[in-house]
Structure 1
Amino acid sequence: MQKATFAGGCFWCMVTPFEEQPGIGGIVSGYTGGHMENPTYEEVKTGATGHYEVVEITFDPQLFPYERLLELYWQQIDPTDDGGQFHDRGSQYRTAIFFHDEAQEKLAIEAKEKVASSGKFTKPIVTEILPAQTFYPAEDYHQGYHKKNKEEYKADRAKSGRDEFLDQHWVGK
């Protein structure tokens, strides 16, 4: 099993695309990339800690290779927005791929170049590719939020604009 760490805005919305895939051993919502140890959600959401909201995915590369994780990741985000994602604004909602080894770094760079040259976007791709840092799991109430709070999750996702963007740039293309 290996780890993959992705920032794509609100971590609740980044769980569902990956959780039903073969070879996914687990997905944990959390924080990484900041300068404070053991940050809380209340601290991270201010943007002052420097952390990103992320999902850390444990996967079996034989069943679901990292390249496929990257393909799926790109199809969940607006890679041209450096101010957050959809209605979630702030540095904690920026997009980034946190690589865990040189092979992941190389594949992430290649995938970013492929997205940049795809013609899907007129603005530059701003998603960062960064070395993995200490990962802090989010509080328990964030884990599996979409299952524990189905109606709230659906309402939040519906008003975010995420699905319309994804349909326009990925699904419909």
Structure 2
Amino acid sequence: MTRLHLPLLCLAIAACDSGSGPASASPQRTETAIFAGGCFWCTEADFEKLPGVVGALSGYTGGRTANPTYERVSAGGTGHYEAVKVTYDPARVSYAQLARYYFRTVDPTDAGGQFCDRGESYRTAIFATPQQRRLAEAAKAEAGRSLKGRMVTPILLAARFYPAEDYHQDYYKKNPIRYRYYRFSCGREARLKEVWGR
């Protein structure tokens, strides 16, 4: 593109963004949901591929320690889970659909962590608002019927969510080779197939 055309393009974009034209869309209404599914790199990657999800933020929740860091949470004793705050468009995907999808991305029968990641920070949980709780419980009951086994994933009241350090955000995009190697070597896909089948 030549420099001559660049100002015209900028003016066109500005006109579209101003909301003054008939083609401008109404602001997108979004909602959030919090899921702990073991390694937050994987949980984030799983949710961000789902249509209707606007984005996912890795972080920590459910514990007693204020302003937790990765080192403190990983060492144990904070009570925090690695979790992901999912921002989604309820016109495209419902909370009930997110909760059902979540259970298929984890092993909800494992109380000690997920896959190769062991310890309290890697446990599974859904952190729901009072309005979300009924839908989360229904998704858990449905998953339990499918597995015909013991479900250990709790539905907990949503607590303060602390974003993780910047280097954890979008790890699967920033470090695709390392991420794919980690996910494979941790046995996530193999265990999910074992638990849920295809």
TM-score bracket, shorter-length normalisation: over 0.9
1:121, distance to aligned residue in structure 2 (A): 4.6
- Who is 1:85 aligned against? 114
List gaps (5 residues or longer) in structure 1: none
Looking at structure 1, the residues matched to 41 and 50 of structure 2 have their Cα atoms a distance apart, in angstroms, of 17
Structure 2 match to 1:6 = 35
Q: Any residues of structure 2 matched to 1:154-169 within 5 Å, and which? A: 154-169=180-195
> Residue type of the partner of 1:45?
S
- What is the aligned counterpart of 1:69 among 55, 78, 98? 98
| Distance in 1 of aligned mates of 2:145 and 2:110 | 17
Whichever residue aligns with residue 98 of structure 2, its letter is L
The two structures, once aligned, show a CA RMSD in angstroms of 1.1
The aligned counterpart of 2:164 is 138
Which aligned runs of 4 or more in structure 1 are off by greater than 3 angstroms? none
With the length of structure 2 as denominator, give the TM-score of the two structures: 0.82
SS in 1 for 2:97: helix
Q: Is 1:113 matched with 2:141? A: yes
Normalising by structure 1, what TM-score? Answer: 0.93
Whole-Å Cα distance in 2 between the matches of residues 121 and 41 of structure 1?
A: 35
User: What SS does the corresponding residue of 1:78 show, helix, strand or coil?
Assistant: coil
Which of 1 and 2 has higher RCO (CA within 8 Å, sep 6+)?
1
3-state SS of the aligned residue for 2:125? strand
- The structural deviation recorded for 1:169 is 2.8
Rounded Cα–Cα distance in structure 2 between residues aligned with 1:168 and 1:11:
21
CA distances 1:9-68 after superposition (whole Å, capped 9, x unpaired): 000010122113232122100000000110000000012111000000011111111111
Deviation per CA, 1:131-153, whole angstroms, max 9, x where unpaired?
11000000000000011111111
Q: Which position in structure 2 is the counterpart of 1:128? A: 154
Counterpart code for 2:143: V
In structure 1, C-alpha distance between the alignment counterparts of 2:127 and 2:50, rounded to whole Å = 20
For 1:120-172, what per-residue CA distance to the aligned partner results, in whole angstroms no more than 9, with x for missing partners? 253x1000100110000000000000111111111111111110111233352
Query: Which of 69, 93, 97 in structure 2 is aligned with 1:40?
Result: 69
Which of 52, 56, 81 in structure 1 is aligned with 2:81? 52
Q: Is the 8 A contact 1:17 1:72 kept in 2?
A: no
Letter in 1 for 2:91: Q
- In our comparison, the structure showing a higher alpha carbon Rg is 2
Whether the 8 Å CA contact 1:8–1:54 is kept in 2: the answer is yes
1:113 & 1:151 partners in 2: Cα distance?
A: 36
Q: Which runs of 5+ in 2 are unaligned?
A: 1-29
- The SS at the match of 1:108 is helix
| Aligned partner letter, 1:20 | K
